[in-house]
Amino acid sequence: MIRHYFIVARDQTSLCEYLTRQFASEQNVEVFMDRRSGRDRRLADRDPSTVERRATDRRNQPFVDTQLRSLGYAMFRVD
């Protein structure tokens, strides 16, 4: 089953609450606030070749940072 994830920027609590209500009945949708620390977000902005190996995990998604800054949320799907 395809899963959809919404990551909402920390300063967008109203949006997070709204999306949570909108998708409450959807089994394949999860909505949550961005839980990364400031250090994690800064690492995502760096040149990938200079980032420590242990910091390059599944959460290091540059498009997420871009969408969080421009839209207030990021959405992606996992097959």
Give pLDDT tens digits along the chain (79 positions). 999 999 999 999 999 999 999 999 999 999 999 998 765 545 555 555 555 555 555 556 788 899 999 999 999 999 9
Say what the pLDDT of residue 63 is: 87
For the chain, give every domain's residue range.
Answer: 3-78
Contact indicator for 13, 21 with CB cutoff of 8 Å: no
**What is the distance between the alpha carbons of residues 41 and 28, in angstroms, rounded to a whole number?**
26
Say what the pLDDT of residue 51 is: 52
Say what the pLDDT of residue 57 is: 55
Say what the pLDDT of residue 39 is: 55
For residue 30, what are the β-bridge partners?
Answer: 5
